[in-house]
Structure 1
Amino acid sequence: MGSTGLLFLFLLMSLLQLFHPQLVLVSGDYDLIQKTCRSTKYYDLCISSLKSDPNSPNADTKGLAMIMVGIGEANATAISSYLSSQLVGSANDSSMKKILKECVNRYNYSSDALQASLQALTMEAYDYAYVHVIAAADYPNACRNSFKRCPRLPYPPELGPREDVLKHLCDVVLGIIDLLDW
């Protein structure tokens, strides 16, 4: 192939990267993502979450764990925001308002715990990262228990699936942390 052919090939590859950046995912990087996700409890959630982040193809295992922690943290924050929006509709019910405030706090604690796990991952303190992720997954239980203490108030059906996603994201993070050298 002459220099003109190489130049054409280079230009073609550059244009493909410019217009279709998702094509840049090299099989080695995708293999790492698949291998990493196979070690988790929720393979499909892991794959779809990591594919949604443009930094995943370039990340090592620790980086993939950090990306998943960020996704979990965003999820916990979104649930807290959702619950805060529900407070407006419960202005006349002081018990519901109290429980919702408690739930908002619990999901904020979950987000804080995930932030702490991110810091621990950065310092390669994997045991601490693991403990923080376990705590983040457990905070939603305190919210659910608040509703159990007040039987006249049903647990909001919209909250259950959101809670499950956060717990599953945490399980994925734990599976990835297990792969890291302690």
Structure 2
Amino acid sequence: MSSSSPFLLLFLLSIALHFHQPLVIVSGDTDLIQRTCKCTKYYDLCVSSLKSNPTSPKADTKSLAMIMAGVGIANATATASFLSSKVLNIGNDTSMRKAIIKDCADKYSYAVNALQSSIQDLIAEANDYAYMHVMAAADYPNACHNGFKRFPGLAYPPELVAREDGLKHICDVVLSIINLLGW
């Protein structure tokens, strides 16, 4: 090894750090969940969601993103089911309210599809497309909420507020993890 090799190594390391290369961590790293979640806006949500999945301790960063996308799928599916049952239980309510609630159920179903697509994108290492699909999934609740805003006489169901925020927060965590993967 020549005497310039340490300098070359230091130079290459400084370039790698300067350009913020993707976080690469060995599978099975016990601190990966905490380190990953510290890079998100919703640390507690991230840690509790990932620790509740039995495959997380042996997951790499990409797998953690896929696990969180799965949490989003479960959330959006539950909300779509909730809304679908609400449409069926609306007795003498207006047909406009039924139509908006049905449209909201559809929007949450679209969020499920977008999150499923993001998982496929991550598998294919198409992180930019995964990011785009998660952004779309996070935006579908806005479309639902806006449907109610178009008709001032229809109040946005209070039970949807927490569900909407939940999906948006989950998607935000997924986006932060995808950012760690690099593009």
Q: Which residue of 1 aligns with 2:46?
A: 46
CA distance in 1, matches of 2:173, 2:44: 10
Q: Structure 1 residue runs of 4+, over 2 Å off? A: none
Deviation readout 1:97-147 (Å, 9 max, x if unpaired) = 100110011000001000010000000000000000000000000000000
Q: Which residue of 1 aligns with 2:102?
A: 101
- Equivalent positions of 1:9-24 (< 5 A) are none
> What amino acid maps onto 1:97 in structure 2?
K
Q: Which residue of 2 aligns with 1:115?
A: 116
Structure 1 unaligned runs (5+)? 1-27
Q: Aligned pair 1:58/2:58, yes or no?
A: yes
Q: Which residue of 2 aligns with 1:70?
A: 70
Q: Aligned pair 1:135/2:136, yes or no?
A: yes
- Equivalent positions of 1:135-174 (< 5 A) are 135-174=136-175
Q: What SS is found at the alignment partner of 1:34? A: helix
Q: Which residue of 2 aligns with 1:84?
A: 84
Deviation readout 1:56-111 (Å, 9 max, x if unpaired) = 00100000000000010111000000001111222432011100110011000001
Q: TM-score, normalised by structure 2?
A: 0.83
> What amino acid maps onto 1:117 in structure 2?
S
Q: Which residue of 2 aligns with 1:32?
A: 32
Are the equivalent residues in 2 in contact too, given 1:120–1:126 (CA < 8 A)?
yes
Q: Which residue of 1 aligns with 2:24?
A: none
> What amino acid maps onto 1:151 in structure 2?
P
CA distance in 1, matches of 2:29, 2:68: 16
Note the C-alpha offset of 1:150: 1.0
Q: Which residue of 1 aligns with 2:126?
A: 125
CA distance in 1, matches of 2:55, 2:72: 16
Q: Percent same amino acid at aligned positions?
A: 65
Note the C-alpha offset of 1:30: 3.1
Aligned residues: 155
Segment drifting more, 70-79 vs 84-93: 84-93
More helix by proportion, 1 or 2? 1
